[in-house]
Structure 1
Amino acid sequence: MNDNDNDNDNDSERFKRGWEKLREIDGDAGEKVIESLKNIAPDLARYTIEFPFGDIYSRPQLDLRSREIATVAALTAMGNATPQLKVHIHGALNVGCTPQEVVEVIIQMAVYAGFPAALNGAFAAREVFAERGMIED
């Protein structure tokens, strides 16, 4: 963190809750994202832990499976967030989604985001599934 940060920022309940949730959902992939920001944008790393994971993902109104389905859908529809989509496909699988459900969500996005976005999402899913040994690449 930079000199303007409070030394206790990483000890806040929000940060701790977010870090635990990030590890629960995204595991190593999420930790790699945070680590990759360490030398260039440590504040962005902290914000990523605190807001999405400490505040939003920790809300009880939706389970993690539902949240990851929504996230995979949104990132697929954006069409320009492949690295983040791959992390969240891993996350969806980590919290109980099946590969078939992930693919179905991506296919659904063809209706709302177009075929190019859905195709890009399917290719991202293929890479994640191959990395996890679920399919041959």
Structure 2
Amino acid sequence: MKKLIVFLALVSVMIFSLSCMSDAQTMNNDQTLDARQQSIVTIAAFTANGDLEDLSAALNEGLDAGLTVNEIKEVLVQLYAYAGFPRSLNALNVFMSVMKAREAKGIKDVAGKEASPLSTDKSRLELGTEIQTRLSGSPVAGEIYTFAPAIDQFLKSHLFADIFGRDNLDFQSREIATIAALSSMKGVNPQLQAHFRIGMNTGLTKAQMNSLVSVLKSKVGKPEADNAAEVLNKVLSNK
């Protein structure tokens, strides 16, 4: 009987320890971006600012952290909408070189999921409006869209339908990439502020946003991180 009591006590201690470890892991995941997400930050930042040498290293780190080839391609393609075709095309060229070098070393990276065809049940404008509204938390309207209706249509039909509607990269990852890219560009703080809010709408926490800023500071540059932190603080103070 005594041995049974001791055994049950040991089992209870083990269960409690495992529970604590699980809670600690959950807390850690909630407090910081994981390695995969941190790699999206650096890949997006170096794509946007045109630092191709550091981008090459970031791409290798991203693959090693578990990003698939198609996820990285998707980040680089998406960023043309924010940083322009030249930056996106240059980044894709660097990625091709990285892939060739890794293949020559015998490294086999996971290709990952291809994007599914867009829904045919809705027009691209309807789909884009739905995605934009979901990410923003409410329908998007403003004087600028009345002044230039074409930009409203392009944002909905192209950015949010054609790009964000592709399902081989989740919305959180897309927002991490967008925030990192905008943080690495000058003169786009209104858009950065909007995407910090959208990022939180996808479930990214305050701690994870601060983690993103920390990655910018340690890997990209202090001025970029300081500006991002200032914008983030404005967003948080207005919530």
Which TM class, normalised by the smaller chain length?
0.7 to 0.9
Output one character per residue of 1:47-69: Cα deviation in whole Å (capped at 9) or x when no partner: 11111101111111011111111
Aligned partners of 1:71, 1:106: CA distance in 2, in Å?
13
Aligned to 1:48: 155
Higher relative CO (Cα under 8 Å, sequence separation at least 6) belongs to 2
- TM-score, normalised to structure 2's length? 0.46
Alignment partner, residue 20 of structure 1:
130
Match of 1:125 in 2: 232
TM-score normalised by structure 1 residue count: 0.78
Q: 2:140 is matched with which residue?
A: 31
Distance 1:119 1:66 in 2: 22
2:174 is matched with: 67
Tell me what 1:93 maps to.
200
Aligned twin of 1:135: none
What amino acid is aligned across from residue 109 of structure 1 in structure 2?
A: L
Change (3 A) 1:99 1:79: farther
Rg bigger for which structure?
Answer: 2
- Structure 1 residues 41, 99: CA separation in 2 closer, same or farther (over 3 Å shift)? same
- Percent identical pairs in the alignment equals 30
8 Å CA contact 1:77–1:112 kept in 2: the answer is: no
Q: Which runs of 4+ in 1 moved over 6 A?
A: none
Number of residue pairs aligned between Structure 1 and Structure 2: 118
Measure, in 1, the Cα distance between the counterparts of 2:204 and 2:170.
12
Partner amino acid, structure 2, of 1:110: K
